[in-house]
Structure 1
């Protein structure tokens, strides 16, 4: 399988009916000797209140894989700043900041909002280095007709059991996962068909019907000095990797359906 990398000028325009469930960027740093999460979150909330007027504090949940299966474990707190429509969220924890949306309008709009969040963080806290930057696109297909046409719209490499179901059978559950390394980064491509009220990720709310999920997470785990410009530049690279590969995995039939 060849991983496609491209500049944003090479990536097809955003589809008007794209099945994006969310777009997420997360930037992580090591535990710091001087970082007051409560103060940082309060200051950022004031600075970003025009676009993110709502604020809440949640328990930060960590997913642990144990012999008994995946288990969730509380790991401190995370502050969330949310838009009035609840479709944009900035999350800040002891060692990370994330921007997430379910109302993606394109990369340029997304990166401008990310820069605003990073500027506010940079003015409030001293982050010396970052240890991980990730850009994630999560797509979700629902509806009996669209689920029946997955093999027409996506490459066989991400169909897993969907493409190999025995004649006359009903597929209950299928997960396919691959990790690729390229250009100093990695790309996790995960697809899954799940039942109603099921999800493959505790951070992704399930829906009340059967669905098929295609999740692309491009990330860089190298240690680098933190600057807003350098983070945004790397985010651009990672976005191009993930979105370029998404378009490489889809067919003309997919484009016709979601254009």
Structure 2
């Protein structure tokens, strides 16, 4: 098995992108968080933002915002202060979400790094014009990959590096099976980091409220690349591109050349 040429998930030079015809991405998200803004009191910013984005996101929905709470009993949601505004494309494959402390975008039809960042930057520019945030507290980009095809799962040990497989390939006798195995890894450096989760899940198990469960066994690779601190909104374009690139570096380290072939490298 010939693995990717990367000796580290954090190379000194950016990894050239390889386009995949059948990429296993099920969701891609980007988010900026900001402090409570006086400009957003009263709801005028939300209404103006919805009008400004209406040509791309004509469907709107308002509701109560929630905090996600993780306890020993599982993942729950609790009401938070403030409302949430969701704007959607007609086919609902793209969603913009504005809360009192964050603006995010998510899609299930990832068009590539450049176009994805362009979509979000247009929304960020409109928001910055209306709300004038003095800084962002966090900028993040998250890529969720899921493999559920039984034929591909059968060859997982040929598609993913041994360091990432973990216990997923432990040999078991007849009558035994591994229902799930998960790894949660946090890599940090000054000003940011990357959280990488991967592992095998049984059917109908939901780890994240943002990621619906599926009714078949599956393997996930979930990468959240982020910057933190008082981030200048004017540098958002470079920050987003750098974060997306960092996540892609890790992805290309984690998978093998056979993975790229299996998902239709172009």
TM-score by length of 2: 0.89
* Number of aligned residues: 256
Match of 1:206 in 2: 213
> How much has 1:141 moved relative to structure 2?
0.5
Would the aligned equivalents of 2:31 and 2:103 in 1 still touch at CA under 8 Å? yes
Deviating more after overlay: 192-201 vs 12-21: 192-201
- Preserved contact between residue 85 and residue 98 of structure 2 (Cα < 8 Å): yes
Matched with 1:101 is 107
Give the Cα–Cα distance (whole angstroms) in 1 for the partners of residues 42 and 259 of structure 2. Answer: 44
Equivalent-residue separation in structure 2 for 1:255 and 1:52 (angstroms): 33
Q: Secondary structure at the match of 2:40?
A: coil
- C-alpha spacing 1:220/1:154, structure 2 compared with 1 (3 Å): same
Shift of 1:5: 4.1
- Give, in angstroms, the shift of residue 175 of structure 1: 1.1
- Of 102-111 and 38-47, the range deviating more from structure 2: 38-47
Ranges in structure 1 where 5+ consecutive residues have no aligned partner? none
Q: Which residue, 121, 127, 151 being the options, matches 1:121?
A: 127
Distance (whole Å) between structure 2 residues aligned to residue 240 and residue 153 of structure 1: 21
The answer as to 2:59 corresponding to 1:54 is: yes
**1:158–1:190 Cα contact (<8 Å) kept:** no
Counterpart Cα distance in 1 of 2:150 and 2:101? 41
Q: Where does structure 2 lack aligned partners over 5 or more consecutive residues?
A: 1-6
The worse-fitting range, judged by mean Cα deviation, of 82-91 and 161-170 is 161-170
The aligned residue for residue 161 of structure 1 is 167
Equivalent residue for 1:240? 245
CA RMSD of aligned residues (A): 1.9
Is structure 2 residue 76 aligned with structure 1 residue 71? yes
State which of 185, 192, 201 in structure 2 corresponds to 1:194. 201
- Please tell me whether the aligned partners of residues 192 and 200 of structure 1 are also in contact (alpha carbons under 8 angstroms): no
Shift of 1:113: 0.7
2 CA distance for matches of 1:256 and 1:38?
Answer: 49
Render the CA deviation track for 1:73-120: whole Å, top value 9, x for unaligned.
Answer: 122432111111111111100010001111111111111111110111
- TM-score, with structure 1 as normaliser: 0.91
Candidates 4, 28, 35, aligned match of 2:10? 4
Structure 2 match to 1:20: 25
